[in-house]
Structures are given as C-alpha cells and as structure tokens.
A and B are shown apart, each in its own frame.
Chain A
C-alpha cells in the first residue's frame, strides 16, 4: 500500500509530530505509515484523512497485487 500522507501533510504545513498529536498516535506510527510499512485501521485512516482535510481514497493507494 502506498500513501500520500507526506504530500498532504506538507500541503497543510504539518510536521510528523503535529499530525501524530492531532490524531492521537505515536510519532513512529506516522513514520511507518508514510513509508507504507503499516496498514492502519479504518478508524485511524479516517482520523488522518480528516486531519489532512482530504478523503481516505485520496490518501491511501491500494495495489491489487
């Protein structure tokens, strides 16, 4: 899975720390999410999308393979 969290975060002028505090997770979780090494729960994906003022399907790109 690829994410566009970094791109949307930059648009909102948010650091990883700011985003982590906004959605109530640890910093490492945001780092792993941006690297595509962690699949978040639907709840967390929704919270991140809300914090970055976008939609879940614009934020996360799922590979069919």
Chain B
C-alpha cells in the first residue's frame, strides 16, 4: 500500500517536473522571439512563436492527459509508452543527422543564418518538431 502511494506521489512529481520544464522551454522560445523582433529579424521571431505554440500545445496535452490518468488510477508511463518514446528518440536522432547536413549545405547558398547560434537554434527546433512528429506517428501505428 505504501509502495503504491509512493509510486503515485513520484508520478505526480514527474508530471509537475514536465510542466516546469515545458514552461522553461516556452519562456526560452518567447525570449528568442522577442529578441529577434527587437532586432528586426521577423523570420527568427515567427520561428520562435511557432516553436512556443507547438511546445505549449504538446505540454498542455501531456499535462491534461497525465492528470486525468493519475486520477483514474493509470500509470503515467508503461512499457509501451516507454518503447514509443525510445523509438521516436532513435528515429529523431537518425533523421536529424540528415537535417544537420542539410542545414550545413543550405547555409552556404540558400539560407543565410545570422551566426552559428541561430543555425544551432533552428537545428534544435527542427529536432523538437521531428521528435513530436515521430512520437505521434509511433503512438498511432504502434511499435
């Protein structure tokens, strides 16, 4: 009984940590967007807003689902959801190698990045979007 209560408490802490982490990422995205607009870089600003909206939507979905499941007595994560996460992470890693290569090649001619940090930001944002897409895909189709 005590173990069950501890597990439930740990899951609540985990859900809270997810919410806090998401908030930090959203704040970072908002700051990136704000500083880009301030410097007159509209593409960077819009990219920041898009990242914030995607992460905000995902965080709200995860938090609401997790809260409902905890109330109904289901675990936050089980072996299938862990496997989905692992597969999505592995595929994201593999595909992001090509994404990084593409950014490297395109930055020579097509896309002009302000500096390395902006290119890195775009790569990280792209990886986050890829992870989200693969997570949704594997969650729907099964692993």
Is the pair A38, B74 in contact by a Cβ cutoff of 8 Å?
no
B18 CB to nearest chain A CB (Å): 16
Instruction: Name the segment of B38-46, B76-84, B98-106 touching the other chain.
Output: B76-84
Is the pair B142, A25 in contact by a Cβ cutoff of 8 Å?
no
CB closest residue in chain B, given A20: B74
Q: Which of A9-65 contact B (CB under 8 A)?
A: 17, 20-21, 24-29, 32, 35, 37-38, 40-41, 44
Is the pair B80, A29 in contact by a Cβ cutoff of 8 Å?
yes
User: Residues 48-78 of chain B: 1 if any A CB is under 8 Å from the residue's CB, otherwise 0?
Assistant: 0000000000000000000001001111011
Is the pair B73, A25 in contact by a Cβ cutoff of 8 Å?
no
Is the pair B143, A24 in contact by a Cβ cutoff of 8 Å?
no
Q: Once bound together, how far apart are the Cα atoms of A32 and B139, in whole Å?
A: 10
Is the pair A24, B142 in contact by a Cβ cutoff of 8 Å?
no
Is the pair B143, A26 in contact by a Cβ cutoff of 8 Å?
no
Q: Once bound together, how far apart are the Cα atoms of A37 and B141, in whole Å?
A: 8
A residues near B73, Cβ cutoff 8 Å: 21
Chain A interface (Cβ < 8 Å from any Cβ of B): 17, 20-21, 24-29, 32, 35, 37-38, 40-41, 44
